[in-house]
Amino acid sequence: MSGERVLIVEDDPSAGAGLTLSLTEHGYDVVLVTTGREALTAAEGRPPEIVLLDLGLPDLDGVHVCRVLREKLPFVPIVMVTARDADIDVVVGLDAGANDYVVKPFTTAVLLARLRAHLRRPPATDADSEVMTVGELHIDTASHRAFLAGDEIELRPKEYALLHLLVTEVGRVVTRDRLLNDLWDLRWESSTKTLDMHVHALRRKLGDRPNGSAWISTVRSIGYRFESP
The tens-digit pLDDT sequence of the chain (229 residues) is: 458 899 999 999 999 999 999 999 999 999 999 999 999 999 887 889 899 999 999 999 999 999 999 888 877 889 999 888 888 888 888 888 888 888 888 899 989 988 988 887 543 344 444 788 888 899 988 788 899 988 889 988 888 999 999 999 988 999 988 888 888 655 544 456 778 888 999 999 999 887 888 999 999 989 999 998 7
Cβ contact 214:208 at 8 Å: yes
What one-character-per-residue DSSP string does 43-68 give? HHSSPPSEEEE-S--SSS-HHHHHHH
Q: How far apart are CA 113 and CA 26, in angstroms?
A: 12
Which of these, 118, 24, 11, 117, lies nearest to 54 by C-alpha position? 11
CATH architecture for the domain at 131-226: Orthogonal Bundle (1.10)
Q: How far apart are CA 111 and CA 168, in angstroms?
A: 33
HEC secondary structure over 85-134: CCHHHHHHHHHCCCCEEEECCCCHHHHHHHHHHHHCCCCCCCCCCCEEEE
Locate the domains of the chain by residue range: 5-119, 131-226
Q: Are both 5-119 and 131-226 of the same fold? A: no
Reported as type and span, the H/E element at residue 19 is: helix 13-25
At residue 99, the pLDDT reads 80
Q: How far apart are CA 176 and CA 92, in angstroms?
A: 49
For the chain, give the number of residues.
Answer: 229
Q: How far apart are CA 202 and CA 183, in angstroms?
A: 15
Name the superfamily (CATH) of residues 5-119. Answer: Response regulator (3.40.50.2300)
Q: Quote the crossing angle between the two packed helices 36-44 and 62-72, to the nearest 10°.
A: 10
At residue 47, the pLDDT reads 83
Q: How far apart are CA 25 and CA 37, in angstroms?
A: 27
Global confidence as pTM:
0.56
Cβ contact 196:210 at 8 Å: no
At residue 84, the pLDDT reads 87
At residue 80, the pLDDT reads 93
Amino acid at site 90: V
Question: What order of strands is seen across the sheet that includes strand 173-175?
Answer: 173-175, 223-226, 216-219
Amino acid at site 140: D
At residue 217, the pLDDT reads 95
At residue 186, the pLDDT reads 55
